[in-house]
Amino acid sequence: MLRRLYYWTLSLAARPWAPWGLGAVSFTESSVFPIPPDAMLVPMALARPDQAFFYAFITTITSVAGGLFGYLIGALLYESVGLWVIELYGLENKAENFRMLFAEHGHWTIMIAGFTPIPYKLITITSGFAAYDIWMFILLSLLTRGARFFLLATLLYNFGDWIRGFIDRHFALLTTLVAVVGVLGFVLVRYLI
């Protein structure tokens, strides 16, 4: 099933609305959606390496815009929507820890979460809830999300054929590793904070 989804995403790159779909996934991932935009960015950049940096730009901008939306949820709607998202991930008992972490290390938290598999949506909502400086939030999000997606685009642009062959040969192993890394991101947030 996942292999079919991968090939379907590869075929999306030829469609004129593909960048809009990538932007929508990237936007919603930063505030509520559980699947990272890398799942679309990688196959699309592999299918169209000439567009890899354009796709990275779209993913960065829409991810930060979605992060800003998550920030607003935390700042204005924490008791309803924000708490619902945090409860959805089973982290309702960690909200106060997050807020204290932001008071002391907000910039590091945003930078680490923006570049790693730690669920970015939890950081965006908590940033708003903790009243972290919105301009610093935008700047750090642009830096870390941009670094992540443009690094990925650079690798796909330069080594796309090799990467695509590797993915095709080791698809089951790679999907298992991606799932494990995603789960580890949630475990890190749940048990280390």
Helix axes of 38-47 and 2-12: crossing angle, nearest 10 degrees: 60
38-86: per-residue pLDDT in tens? 888 888 888 889 999 999 999 999 999 999 999 998 888 887 787 777 7
Q: Are 60 and 142 in contact (CB under 8 A)?
A: yes
Closest by CA position to 41, among listed 61, 17, 25, 64: 25
Domain count, the chain: 1
CB-based contacts of 146: which residues, under 8 Å, 6+ apart? 56, 60
Model-level pTM?
0.78
* DSSP H or E stretch at residue 10: helix 2-12
Q: Are 122 and 86 in contact (CB under 8 A)?
A: yes
- % of the chain surpassing 90 pLDDT: 25
124-157: per-residue pLDDT in tens? 888 888 889 999 999 999 999 999 999 989 999 9
Q: Which domain holds residue 119?
A: 2-192
Tell whether the model's pLDDT for residue 179 goes beyond 70. Answer: no
